[in-house]
Homo-oligomer: A and B are copies of this chain.
Amino acid sequence: MTVASAEGSSRGPGADELTGFGDWLAERVAARESQLVLGLDPDPARLWPSAIRRAEANGTVAAPPATRAARAVAAHCALAIEATGEHCVAVKLQVACFERLGAPGWSVLAETAGRAREHGLLVIADAKRGDIHVTAAAYAQAFLGETPTPFGPVPGLGVDAMTVNPLLGRDSLEPFTTAARAHGRGLFVLVRTSNPGADDVQERGLVDGGSVSDRLAALVGEIGAAGTGQSGLSDIGAVVGATAPDRLHALREQMPHAPFLLPGVGAQGGRIEELAPAFVPGPAGALIAASRGIVAAHEQTGGDPAAAAAREAGRLRALAWRVAA
């Protein structure tokens, strides 16, 4: 790890690609003294008013709604990153919220990833993609790699990590794993999500013992073993909902080296104080993702959205750092 890459933003060309994502994540968490992930899931109907003003000041009212909404989303995300970035180690971009604005939304997804990198933040694409082998490889090109074409390679988003859905099994994860390792990136595999419906499928008991989530955890543990770095963290992480703290201990045992991405704090009811078992591998053993809890903090506290978001991010960061210690 070079000093330049440790001090700067996400790895660019020329950075040490031999260091896997687990070590890179450990380094970034230590450098930022934060496990907090700013979740960006922009709803065009609930943007910060300052974002709409900024976007419209630079734009033209003659543009189609998708373009104007995308510009406003870009401004909103930029303002949220400016306000809270210093408290965070990463952003988590909710791909659905960009995708619904079509091509302009996809452009803004890439732009927002770049903005986050400028602030020294890792970029996690919350894409939850999963498909059969050849299609999984295409998704991996879209997010982690590049696509060869007769006209030259088309670069993907180049995010540091992405979330993937393992319902299709081990062979559907392989192209993601291969692409992640080729580019020094990471994966967060859905193991136990934060929503009430997680019980419907993920927590069904298996005749072989454990639940579907336990089976997924075993799969993550197996695939991740080969990608464990000197930090003790693997490049293959797991999404584990902060709303199920009683499951953390068992899942951690099955995935001793996986970084956990923990959504569900705040609006969904998860409490950081209950997440200590996730941090067993060290301070970077888990990332705490908060979206509306930060960006919509002003709806609870009143006042300026940016100031409220910064306060809440600072509070969550300090709380997580203490719980992880």
- Contacts from A to B (Cβ < 8 Å): 41, 43-45, 47, 52, 65-66, 68-69, 72, 94, 96-97, 99-107, 110, 126, 128-136, 138-139, 141-142, 147-154, 156-157, 165-173, 190, 193-202, 204-208, 212, 215-216, 219, 268
> Which 6 pairs from chain A and chain B are nearest by CB?
A169-B197, A169-B200, A171-B197, A44-B149, A96-B138, A100-B142
Give 21 A-B contacts (CB < 8 Å), ordered by A residue.
Answer: A44-B148, A69-B147, A69-B149, A96-B138, A96-B142, A100-B139, A101-B147, A102-B157, A103-B107, A128-B130, A130-B165, A132-B193, A165-B165, A168-B195, A169-B193, A169-B195, A169-B202, A171-B195, A173-B197, A204-B206, A204-B215
Q: Which residues of chain B come closer than 8 Å to A166, judged between CB atoms?
A: 167, 201
Complex Cα spacing A168 to B94, Å: 16
Complex Cα spacing A166 to B130, Å: 12
Task: Decide if B45 touches A149 in the complex (CB within 8 Å).
Answer: yes
Task: Decide if A204 touches B212 in the complex (CB within 8 Å).
Answer: yes
Complex Cα spacing A168 to B192, Å: 8
Specify the chain B residue showing the minimal Cβ separation from A108.
B103
Q: How many copies does the complex hold?
A: 2
Task: Decide if A219 touches B200 in the complex (CB within 8 Å).
Answer: yes
Task: Decide if A66 touches B100 in the complex (CB within 8 Å).
Answer: no
Q: Which residues of chain B come closer than 8 Å to A157, judged between CB atoms?
A: 102
Task: Decide if B132 touches A194 in the complex (CB within 8 Å).
Answer: yes
Task: Decide if A154 touches B101 in the complex (CB within 8 Å).
Answer: yes
Complex Cα spacing A101 to B97, Å: 18
Q: Which residues of chain B come closer than 8 Å to A96, judged between CB atoms?
A: 129, 131, 135-136, 138-139, 142
Known: A99-B142, A100-B156. 17 other contacts (CB 8 A): A44-B150, A45-B150, A65-B153, A69-B154, A72-B151, A96-B129, A96-B131, A97-B138, A102-B110, A105-B106, A169-B193, A169-B198, A169-B202, A171-B197, A173-B197, A204-B207, A204-B212
Q: Which residues of chain B come closer than 8 Å to A168, judged between CB atoms?
A: 190, 193, 195, 197-198, 201-202
Given contacts A65-B153, A138-B94, A167-B167, contact A205 B204 (CB under 8 A): no
Complex Cα spacing A199 to B215, Å: 12
Shortest Cβ gap from A136 to chain B (Å): 8
Q: Which residues of chain B come closer than 8 Å to A97, judged between CB atoms?
A: 135, 138
Complex Cα spacing A152 to B205, Å: 47
Given contacts A96-B139, A151-B69, contact A167 B202 (CB under 8 A): yes
Residue of A150, A193, A196, A207 contacting most chain B CB atoms (<10 Å): A150
Shortest Cβ gap from A259 to chain B (Å): 20
Task: Decide if A132 touches B201 in the complex (CB within 8 Å).
Answer: no
Complex Cα spacing A200 to B169, Å: 5
Q: Which residues of chain B come closer than 8 Å to A43, judged between CB atoms?
A: 138
